[in-house]
């Protein structure tokens, strides 16, 4: 449990229960298959399918941005909750691929949705763990008095990846997912969240350009001296399996349940082999693990809310079910949430 404490737990109090009032998601229309990638770089459908389980991913249209995708998912989540933008008390956007560098995507989203002048901010840089971390922040804000908080996970990765690097480019896709959380009502309760960070592994998955270490300058643009996404795939793989399964065990233990009580695990969709390894380590059969990485690839912060939205829409979740969200991402961060339907 080391390093997994929330504020409530540190104070020795009961974890504050918050509710999920609505679910939403969005994927761009354009489908890019493995064969499409094979026409661009030295790869094949066989390699990508065998190593990742990915068959296709979605690519944003030229007129789409992180904001437009966020707004599409957010509007569906609000509609599902039976609420309007004026009902929101706070907006949190988890993304590593923001609308612009400054200000954050949440500022644009607050205006685009027509929300009141409420606090709105991004949770950025947490890679694919960002959405579940943001759910944890939202429940803390709800415990402090916010009635309704919009939480978005969004990524428009296709525009930023190095399209000549076969080792990373084929893994990712564009998408957005959202939930509206609140004090009461809705179909689901967030019982508890665990989250943690091991910064000693920050260098195994990092996008270097743009920060103070490697600023994006006109000179760098001219000479092509960009620092691309750096990823030690094998180490990320190992860490991901270890951290996602441990986080699931921790969060169910914290709510007084066991892994056997879980109806559905909704894991970050990075790689089918990672998802299978998490299931095997936990002793959970395939029917209790949600998978859509084959259709969307790794959509970063959008992956968990998109999968959750889809699972709900496809009736993979029934009232009474214990659903566990689990994610890992650059940092190295991890987080898991126990959600009772």
> What residues are annotated to the active site?
128, 268, 298
Cross-strand bridge partners of residue 329: 333
Cross-strand bridge partners of residue 322: 340
Task: Give the 3-state secondary structure of 41-70.
Answer: CCCCHHHHHHHHCCCEEEECCCCCCHHHHH
User: At CA 238, angle to CA 58 and CA 40, rounded to 5?
Assistant: 35
51 is a site residue for ligand UT7 (CB under 6 A): yes
206 is a site residue for ligand UT7 (CB under 6 A): no
Binding region for ligand UT7 (CB under 6 A) out of 25-33, 195-203, 234-242, 307-315? 234-242
The Cα 317–Cα 325 span in angstroms is 13
CB of 14 to ligand UT7, least distance (A): 33
**Binder to ligand UT7 among 34, 43, 292, 299 (CB under 6 A)?**
43
Binding region for ligand UT7 (CB under 6 A) out of 1-9, 173-181, 235-243, 283-291? 235-243
- Residues 6 or more apart whose CB falls under 8 angstroms from that of 76 comprise 22, 23, 24, 25, 26, 178, 309
Binding region for ligand UT7 (CB under 6 A) out of 20-28, 64-72, 93-101, 162-170? 162-170
CB of 166 to ligand UT7, least distance (A): 4
The Cα 142–Cα 146 span in angstroms is 4
CB of 91 to ligand UT7, least distance (A): 24
110 is a site residue for ligand UT7 (CB under 6 A): no
163 is a site residue for ligand UT7 (CB under 6 A): no
**Binder to ligand UT7 among 233, 280, 295, 341 (CB under 6 A)?**
233
CA 301 and chain centroid, separation: 3
CB distance 247 to 332 below 8 Å: no
Report 241-270 residues binding ligand UT7 (CB under 6 A): 270
Taking residues 56 to 95 in sequence order and writing x for each that binds ligand UT7 by CB under 6 A, - otherwise, the string is: ----------------------------------------
Determine phi and psi for 40, rounding to 5 degrees: -105, -40
CB distance 243 to 129 below 8 Å: no
For ligand UT7, the binding residues (CB under 6 A) are 43, 47-48, 51-52, 127-128, 166-167, 170, 231, 233-234, 236-237, 240, 270-271, 298, 329
């Amino acid at each position: 449990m080391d390093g997994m404490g929330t504020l409530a737990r540190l104070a020795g109090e009961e974890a504050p229960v918050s509710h999920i009032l609505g679910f939403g998601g969005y994927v761009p229309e354009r489908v890019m298959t493995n064969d499409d990638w094979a026409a661009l770089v030295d790869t094949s459908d066989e390699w990508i399918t065998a190593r990742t389980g990915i068959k296709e991913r979605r690519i944003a249209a030229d007129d789409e941005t992180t904001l437009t995708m966020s707004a599409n998912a957010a509007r569906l989540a609000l509609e599902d909750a039976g609420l309007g933008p004026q009902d929101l008390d706070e907006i949190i956007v988890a993304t590593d691929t923001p609308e612009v560098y400054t200000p954050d995507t949440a500022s644009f989203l607050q205006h685009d949705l027509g929300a009141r002048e409420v606090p709105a901010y991004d949770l950025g840089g947490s890679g694919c763990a960002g959405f579940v971390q943001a759910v944890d922040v939202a429940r803390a804000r709800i415990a402090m008095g916010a009635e309704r908080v919009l939480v978005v996970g969004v990524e428009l990765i296709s525009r930023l990846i190095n399209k000549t690097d076969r080792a990373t480019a084929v893994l990712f896709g564009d998408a957005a997912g959202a939930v509206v959380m609140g004090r009461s009502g809705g179909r689901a309760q967030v019982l508890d969240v665990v989250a943690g960070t091991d910064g000693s592994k920050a260098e195994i998955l990092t996008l270097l350009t743009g920060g103070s270490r490697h600023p994006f300058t006109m000179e760098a643009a001219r000479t092509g001296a960009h620092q691309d996404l750096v990823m030690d795939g094998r180490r990320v793989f190992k860490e991901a399996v270890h951290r996602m399964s441990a986080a699931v065990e921790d969060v169910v233990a914290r709510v007084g349940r066991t892994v056997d009580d879980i109806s559905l695990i909704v894991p970050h969709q990075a790689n089918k082999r990672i998802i299978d390894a998490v299931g095997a380590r936990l002793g959970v059969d395939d029917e209790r693990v949600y998978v859509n990485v084959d259709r969307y690839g790794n959509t970063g912060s959008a992956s968990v809310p998109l999968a959750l939205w889809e699972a709900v829409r496809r009736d993979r979740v029934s009232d009474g079910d214990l659903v566990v969200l689990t994610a890992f991402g650059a940092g190295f961060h991890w987080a898991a949430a126990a959600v009772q339907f």
